[in-house]
Amino acid sequence: MNKRSIFLIIIAIITLVFMGIFDNKNYLLMSFIFLSLTIGIYFIRFEQRKTNAKEVVFIAIICALAVGGRVLFAALPAVKPELFILIMGAIVSGPETGFLMGTIIALTSNMYFGQGAWTPWQMFALGIIGLISGLLSNKKTGTALLTVWGFLTGFIMGWIMDIYYIIGFVDPINVKSVGIAIAGSFYFDFIHAIFTAILLLLVGKRWIRIFNNYRTKYDLFKE
C-alpha cells in the first residue's frame, strides 16, 4: 500500500472524528470536505503523469452504474449491485481512483436516498472497499479470491455502519449492547455479501476482461 493510499485512509478517519466532535450536526459539510480532499489527492496523482480525459469518463461511468444500480434496487435494501460495480472499477483503475469512486457513489446516491450523519460513514466504507479492491489492480485475480473478497465487502460495509450506529445511538455501550447491534444488522449484511459474491462468481472475470480491454485500448490508468 503506497503513501497516497495510507493518506486517504487517514483523511477519512479524521473526517469521521470531526463528525463526532460536531455531534453529527454538520454532516453535509463534512461530506463535501471528505469528497473534496479525496478528489484533491486524486488530482495530485493525476497531475503527476500524463492526463487522459477518458479516465474521467470511465470514473463517471462506473459511478453512474453503481448509483443507478443502488437506486434501481431501492425496494430491496440488502440486494444492491453497487459493491460489485465498485470492485470491478477499482480493480481496473487502482486504489486511489477506487477510493474516489467509492466516496462519489455514496454521496451521489444519497441525493436520492437522503443525506444524513450516516453519509460520511458510507463514503468511508465504500472508499475503503474501493481502495482495497484497487490493490488488486494489474494482478491476476482468480474467481475464488474475487468471490471471497466480494462476500467480505458486504460485512465490511455493514460493520463500519454498525460503528456509526453504536457511537451515535447505543447507550450504554457495552459488550451486550454492541453484540445486539451487530446481530441486528447480520441478516442485511449477509444478504448483501451473498448477492455481491454471486455476481462476482458469475460475471466478475468477464467484467474485468471487458474493463481491461477498455483500459488497454484507450491507454488508461498507467502508473
Closest CA to 106 of 157, 165, 156, 55: 157
Closest CA to 149 of 188, 91, 212: 91
Q: What is the DSSP string of 52-78?
A: -HHHHHHHHHHHHHHHHHHHHTTTSTT
Helix (H, G, I), strand (E, B) or coil at 140: coil
| pLDDT tens figures, 159-204 | 988 888 887 777 787 888 889 888 988 999 999 999 999 999 999 9
At 30 the pLDDT is 67
Q: Which class does domain 3-218 fall in?
A: mainly alpha
| pLDDT tens figures, 92-118 | 888 888 888 998 898 899 888 887 778
At 156 the pLDDT is 93
CA-CA distance, 164 to 123, in Å (whole number)?
12
Confidence of residue 213 (pLDDT cuts 50, 70, 90): confident
Q: What is the pTM of this model?
A: 0.84
At 158 the pLDDT is 92
Confidence of residue 148 (pLDDT cuts 50, 70, 90): very high
Q: What is the mean pLDDT of residues 73-84?
A: 84
List C-alpha distances in Å: 105 to 65, 84, 111, 148, 223: 9, 12, 10, 22, 24
Number of neighbours of residue 49 by Cβ within 10 angstroms? 10
102 contacts 131 by C-beta, under 8 angstroms: yes
207 contacts 69 by C-beta, under 8 angstroms: no
What dihedral angle (degrees, nearest 10) is formed by the CA atoms of 101, 102, 103, 108? 80
Residue 82 has pLDDT above 70, yes or no: yes
| pLDDT tens figures, 33-77 | 766 776 666 666 666 666 577 888 888 999 999 999 888 887 777
